[in-house]
Amino acid sequence: MDPFESIKQTFFQECDELLTDAEQGLLAMEAGDADSETINAVFRAVHSVKGGAGAFGLEQLIRFAHVFETIMDELRSEKMALTDEVAKTLLRAFDVLADHVAAARDGGEVEESRSAGILGEMKALIGADGVEEEADPDEDFGFVPMLVSIDGDDAAPEPASIDFGGETPAFEAAPDATDSAEIWRIEFAPKSEMYVKANEAGLVLRELARLGPTEVTIDGSDVPPLDQLSAEQAYARWTIILTTEADEAAIREVFEFVEDDCVLSITCENSDDAAAAASAEASLDLAALLARVQGAPAAAPPAPVQDLVDVSAMIARAQEVPAPASAAAPRAAAPAAAPTPITRAAPPPANANPAPAPQATIRVDLDRVDRLINAVGELVIQQAMLSQRVTESGLARSSNVALGLEDLELLTREIQDSVMAIRAQPVKSVFQRMPRLVREVADMTGKRVRLVMEGEGTEVDKTVIERLTDPITHMLRNAIDHGLETPEQRAEVDKPAEGLVRLRALHRGGRIVIEVQDDGRGINRPRVRGIAVDKGLISEDQVLSDEEVDNLIFLPGFSTAETISDISGRGVGMDVVRRSIQGLGGRISISSEPGKGSKFTLSLPLTLAVLDGMVVTAADQTLVAPLSAIVESLTPKAEDIHYVGGKDAVIRIRDTFVPLIDVGVALGFRDTPIANGSGVAVLVESEGGGKAALLVEAIQGQRQVVIKSLEANYQQIEGVAAATILGDGRVALILDVDALVTTIRRKPAARPEKRMAG
């Protein structure tokens, strides 16, 4: 890859981390945390984004980040009070900032009106004259040396300081720029490949000069002594300050043929001088001072003596800091001196990592982990097969082979758990996208919402995480759009104007539970019922419990929004959410209290790879029922089985009647049900709390099984969640208990395709 591109990529990776930090800080600020450390952290993050953006000439981003940064600066210098309004504006501005970063990365465009609107709001906060439109002078000192120090990683570290010294005259040579002309700083470091391809740096420079007046500085610090000089190496690098009316594309065109064979950076240093003048109010320009102190000690800066002392103290401190590049050192020291006003002009170091990772980690291709997981899955199957063979061979349980196998089983489990732990990740990555979504939906609906998130550290398998975003997004939208009332409506019922939405993740019984709770109006049961009747989903006289009414909203084709709103009524209903959750082997349920709000509860397996199951036999087929759904199992007595309306069987379990579903018949493996009083009934609880008894011929035992997708090579089958491979090497189907209980019970025997295959 082009080294410049890879640096850019690193920058965007860093950006993601910085933005995450910034958002967390902003959220804390919104929650009333006006701690200077929090504000500083956000400031640093935004500043680093801006600095990096400067190095890559990302104009839009710089401009936006600059205004943002100015506000943060006002806040931390306590020139501006952190009000709720400021925090909210900053949060919305943050969203646009994130968009700018994304646009810069993916080459898109941020909606101009949106960006400008927020910019206007931010400027209004600062006060009209508080901010210059263009980057202020510390900008240049902020990003240019950073680039150099990155360069320094590839080459020798020395050129940095030389560049640094060379900067000041270059700037001063620029003031003859006309108004429309822009000043570009071009760093051009050819590699030997460029010369190999018969390109010549001189020609490139001459070509550049055609665009406008140039100021070319050569950096020959890499040139070795003559006896070490290799004729085919490239040693020289140039810094060109170009004043031109041409745009960046035109400048890049000059480098068209050499771009791949050189390290090139083109940055716009627009109106430095105007900005420099405007920044007179800035207490002191540390970077400029430093440059002058280093480059031209004779020219004493017109600054108070007090400041000078500070600067030299800082330089002294900087020299104590071990840094790879000397130019980076003063910057590394700068944040340490945060309380002095001088640091306003001092950018944090480019690679400032505010929260260094406490533990060593490695990045591994997900593919490799998946391969490992698959292999371990095979190991589990093979191990099960082996123990079955050993049992069949009649070896005593106390024999060495059997004992060894037991150890092997323990070990296998342990390996499996460890491998699964590799893929486990905190749900934070999903949760952190939600505040923004909530803000946007709140804006669109004109409601005021506070999102409270808990349990972000809850860990779950990566494959589950990836597929959590959509359902959570949908449920949150739903909670705000349908659940919460408008501030006026809330005032009428004596609720605080700001609605509360709670997003929570927790582990419960080997599953991850995600709750989305709002304090809105709750489900309007008569209306839900009315709609369900209107749409023919239930019959008018059907008796339903409150819970069952609530669960009607999960039926396909059900949407209570009177008008299709832009937010949640996209024709995608809760049934889609439920289906995607079911696809993950999860369940979703709802509980609601009129006037007080509703709560959606998602329960998902921690991993999609293994499942604890009960192995049963029905119609000569071996099937697996997920243990998580099973409440108990019992042997039904003939007198406990009754028939409602002559055909639908129910079984009395203690004092309740639950439907009795003959699995063999329900799946179409057999036409005639099991004879009364034989077989085993497994009491299962479906999502939404509905219970049913599954009638099978026998229970073989309990086993952990590796889930194999049917969809990979075939398709989903109703009533079957997935497949697995049992100890004998044969494929067994894993029952989709919810589908069996709901769909099949409601549509009995009306299936055209009743015969079973084979």
Greatest Cα pair distance in the chain: 107
Helix (H) or strand (E) holding 732: strand 731-735
CB of 753 to other proteins, least distance (A): 5
Q: Which stretch binds other proteins (CB under 8 A): 156-164, 314-322, 522-530, 710-718?
A: 710-718
Q: Which stretch binds other proteins (CB under 8 A): 26-34, 299-307, 424-432, 716-724?
A: 716-724
Q: Are the C-beta atoms of 381 and 723 separated by less than 8 Å?
A: no
> Which residue, chain included where needed, has tokens 């705000």?
480
Q: Which stretch binds other proteins (CB under 8 A): 371-379, 487-495, 536-544, 697-705?
A: 371-379
Verify binding: residue 557, other proteins, rule CB under 8 A.
no
CB of 413 to other proteins, least distance (A): 19
The C-alpha atoms of residue 94 and residue 76 are separated, in whole angstroms, by: 17
DSSP 628: G
Phi-psi sector, 654: left (phi>0), alpha (psi -120 to 50), beta: left
Q: Are the C-beta atoms of 215 and 238 separated by less than 8 Å?
A: no
Tell me which residue of 488, 442, 725 sits closest to 611, measured CA to CA.
725
Tell me which residue of 358, 410, 598, 418 sits closest to 499, measured CA to CA.
598
CB of 388 to other proteins, least distance (A): 14
Encoded tokens for 567: 């937010």
CB of 667 to other proteins, least distance (A): 4
DSSP 676: T
C-alpha distances in Å from residue 197, one per residue of 37, 191, 259, 352, 477: 53, 11, 12, 38, 57
The C-alpha atoms of residue 92 and residue 99 are separated, in whole angstroms, by: 11
The size of the chain, in residues, is 758
Residues paired with residue 605 on neighbouring β-strands, in sequence order:
511
Q: Which is nearer to other proteins, 430 or 674 (CB)?
A: 674
The C-alpha atoms of residue 159 and residue 345 are separated, in whole angstroms, by: 23
Query: Which residues, 257 to 296, sit near other proteins by CB under 8 A?
Result: none
CB of 756 to other proteins, least distance (A): 5
Provide the sign of the torsion angle of the four alpha carbons 713, 717, 721, 724, taken in this order: negative
CB of 494 to other proteins, least distance (A): 50
Verify binding: residue 497, other proteins, rule CB under 8 A.
no
Verify binding: residue 144, other proteins, rule CB under 8 A.
no
Q: Which stretch binds other proteins (CB under 8 A): 311-319, 335-343, 376-384, 676-684?
A: 376-384
Verify binding: residue 374, other proteins, rule CB under 8 A.
yes
Q: Which is nearer to other proteins, 147 or 609 (CB)?
A: 609
Q: Are the C-beta atoms of 418 and 410 separated by less than 8 Å?
A: no
Verify binding: residue 451, other proteins, rule CB under 8 A.
no
CB of 476 to other proteins, least distance (A): 30
Verify binding: residue 400, other proteins, rule CB under 8 A.
no
Verify binding: residue 715, other proteins, rule CB under 8 A.
yes
Q: Which is nearer to other proteins, 166 or 668 (CB)?
A: 668
Q: Which is nearer to other proteins, 78 or 718 (CB)?
A: 718
CB of 720 to other proteins, least distance (A): 7
C-alpha distances in Å from residue 702, one per residue of 413, 623, 627, 705: 15, 11, 8, 9
Q: Which stretch binds other proteins (CB under 8 A): 497-505, 520-528, 662-670, 690-698?
A: 662-670
CB of 625 to other proteins, least distance (A): 14
The C-alpha atoms of residue 568 and residue 693 are separated, in whole angstroms, by: 36
Residue 310's φ and ψ, nearest 5 degrees, are: -55, -45
Tell me which residue of 377, 630, 600 sits closest to 468, measured CA to CA.
600
Rg (CA), the chain: 34
Q: Which is nearer to other proteins, 28 or 667 (CB)?
A: 667
Amino acid at 640: D
Q: Which is nearer to other proteins, 6 or 374 (CB)?
A: 374
Verify binding: residue 710, other proteins, rule CB under 8 A.
yes
The C-alpha atoms of residue 327 and residue 89 are separated, in whole angstroms, by: 36
Q: Are the C-beta atoms of 587 and 687 separated by less than 8 Å?
A: yes
CB of 719 to other proteins, least distance (A): 6
Among 228, 563, 656, 713, binds other proteins (CB under 8 A): 713
Verify binding: residue 668, other proteins, rule CB under 8 A.
yes
Verify binding: residue 671, other proteins, rule CB under 8 A.
no
Query: Which residues, 210 to 249, sit near other proteins by CB under 8 A?
Result: none
Q: Which stretch binds other proteins (CB under 8 A): 271-279, 328-336, 365-373, 374-382?
A: 374-382
Residues paired with residue 650 on neighbouring β-strands, in sequence order:
642, 659
Verify binding: residue 378, other proteins, rule CB under 8 A.
yes
Q: Are the C-beta atoms of 372 and 346 separated by less than 8 Å?
A: no
Verify binding: residue 206, other proteins, rule CB under 8 A.
no
CB of 754 to other proteins, least distance (A): 8
Among 68, 238, 431, 669, binds other proteins (CB under 8 A): 669
Q: How many CA atoms lie within 13 A of 416 on its CB side?
A: 22
Q: Which is nearer to other proteins, 552 or 663 (CB)?
A: 663
Amino acid at 260: D
CB of 718 to other proteins, least distance (A): 6
Encoded tokens for 419: 């491998």
Q: Are the C-beta atoms of 721 and 734 separated by less than 8 Å?
A: yes
CB of 758 to other proteins, least distance (A): 4
Q: Which stretch binds other proteins (CB under 8 A): 57-65, 100-108, 375-383, 497-505?
A: 375-383
Query: Which residues, 722 to 751, sit near other proteins by CB under 8 A?
Result: 723, 725, 729-733, 751
Q: Which is nearer to other proteins, 400 or 672 (CB)?
A: 672
CB neighbour list of residue 110: distance below 8 Å, 6 or more residues apart: 60, 96, 99, 100, 103
Verify binding: residue 389, other proteins, rule CB under 8 A.
no
CB of 749 to other proteins, least distance (A): 12
The C-alpha atoms of residue 99 and residue 112 are separated, in whole angstroms, by: 11
Q: Which is nearer to other proteins, 170 or 696 (CB)?
A: 696
| Count of residues of this chain found to bind other proteins when the rule CB under 8 A is applied | 34
Verify binding: residue 371, other proteins, rule CB under 8 A.
no
Q: Which stretch binds other proteins (CB under 8 A): 121-129, 560-568, 690-698, 714-722?
A: 714-722
Angle between helices 36-55 and 84-106 (to 10 degrees): 30
Verify binding: residue 757, other proteins, rule CB under 8 A.
yes
Query: Which residues, 618 to 647, sit near other proteins by CB under 8 A?
Result: 621-622
CB neighbour list of residue 244: distance below 8 Å, 6 or more residues apart: 181, 182, 184, 211, 212, 250, 251
Among 231, 494, 714, 750, binds other proteins (CB under 8 A): 714
Contacts with other proteins by CB under 8 A lie at 374, 377-378, 381, 621-622, 667-669, 708-710, 712-715, 717-720, 723, 725, 729-733, 751, 753-758
